[in-house]
Amino acid sequence: MGVSPDVQPSILWVGTDKLKRLLVLRCMTLTHGSPGIVEHPSMSRLPPLTALRAFESAARNRSFTKAAQELFLTQSAISRHVRNLEELFGIPLFYRNHRAVTLTPDGEAYMRDVVDAFARIDLATRRLKFSGRQNVLNLQAFSTFAMYWLIPRLGRFQEINPEIEVRLTASVAPLDFEHSDIHASIRAVAGRVDDGIRSDRLFDYRLIAVGAPSMAAAWPLRAPGDLKNATLLHSLARPEDWGVWLRAVGAEDVPLEGGMKFESSAMAYRAAEQGLGVALAQSFLVQGELANGTLRRIFPHEVASERTYYLMSSPRHCGDPALELFRGWLLDEIAAATAQPAAA
């Protein structure tokens, strides 16, 4: 067997700055005119999977002892696997002292990639496990979030995940994963969330006054105090919002009595679109309506609430392929929407 002089080595860059070492992969050809055999880099260039798993656990736990307990290995075995990786790369991945280990900058960077790779392998395995089966995703959300933000975007999720059957219900009842088959709930929470529930922060609850474009002619509103001459649209689900907003903008003299009251914020928003009065809207939820002109901001004031929206996942369903796919998609959608400039 010989090396063909026509075959040029290819270069594969891997890892962080110090880990960017050249892996020269040569295509080997058989003599006597037989077809060439190409060695795939993953066949011989990847570190042992057991060593990578030991490093990932030790890096995530910041402890060789905890990694050993997690993987049912001895601490010396974890240390040996990590040391083998360091010798393979020629750089340290951990700083070691008598009581603890900490990651080096290269170790931190490598950890992020390795953790992500294992997460992808795990998700791919779960997707394969459920291949060909009915894959139901039971979601729960506050009705206003569902109607004004989630449903207009849900088609994009369904388009890229047609095998997942989404079942969406609206509820403001206390969260109860233990006695329901809900995979995840999207809700606004005041204060700390339950440490035992995986909670992904989505966006802050911020209030703006909105109305139909036709309102400018009906009620000249130049300052928040002028709202005493307008009809306030109240949400019975958020009865405190108007009081919070008026105090924050210095318009406490605007009476809260009267006006029109609706069961949900979504109904109040819809009434505002129809020109029935002024509603307090969650700014993140009505960006589409502000952009297309069905609603307009009455004043520039934006008041923060104590609430924050979270995606809260059921402990029983964390790791389910449908839930993890939805979670990743939702966080990407939130990031994209947050990056867009706010509509006036």
In this structure, what CATH number is given to the domain that contains residue 74? 1.10.10.10
CA distance linking residue 221 with residue 286, whole number of Å: 20
- Residue 52 in tokens: 């990578």
Q: Check whether residue 276 and residue 315 sit in a common domain.
A: no
DSSP states of 310-333: EEEE-TTTTT-HHHHHHHHHHHHH
Q: Check whether residue 146 and residue 229 sit in a common domain.
A: no
**166: β partners:** 137
Instruction: Answer with the one of 129, 156, 187 that is the final residue of a domain.
Output: 129
Does residue 180 lie within any of the structural domains? Answer: yes
Question: pLDDT tens string for the chain (344 positions)?
Answer: 444 333 333 333 344 444 443 333 333 333 333 334 344 544 457 889 999 999 999 999 999 999 999 899 999 999 999 999 999 999 999 999 877 899 999 999 999 999 888 888 877 776 676 666 668 999 999 999 999 999 999 999 999 888 899 999 998 888 888 888 999 999 998 888 887 899 999 999 899 999 999 876 677 888 999 999 899 999 999 899 999 999 999 999 999 988 999 999 999 999 999 999 999 999 999 999 999 999 999 999 999 988 899 999 999 899 888 999 999 999 999 999 887 665 55
Alpha helices in 175-240 (DSSP H): 215-218
Q: Check whether residue 23 and residue 164 sit in a common domain.
A: no
Check residue 125 and give its pLDDT: 75
Check residue 129 and give its pLDDT: 66
Instruction: Answer with the one of 85, 108, 129 that is the final residue of a domain.
Output: 129
CA distance linking residue 114 with residue 117, whole number of Å: 5
Does residue 2 lie within any of the structural domains? Answer: no
Distant-in-sequence, close-in-space partners of 163: CB < 8 Å, separation ≥ 6: 135
Give the count of domains, the chain: 4
Does residue 301 lie within any of the structural domains? Answer: yes
Range of the domain at 225: 204-307
CA distance linking residue 43 with residue 163, whole number of Å: 33
Indicate the helix (H) or strand (E) that contains 202: strand 198-211
Q: Specify the amino acid at residue 64.
A: F
Which three-class secondary structure state does DSSP give residue 170? strand
Helices (H) and strands (E) in the chain, counts: 12, 15
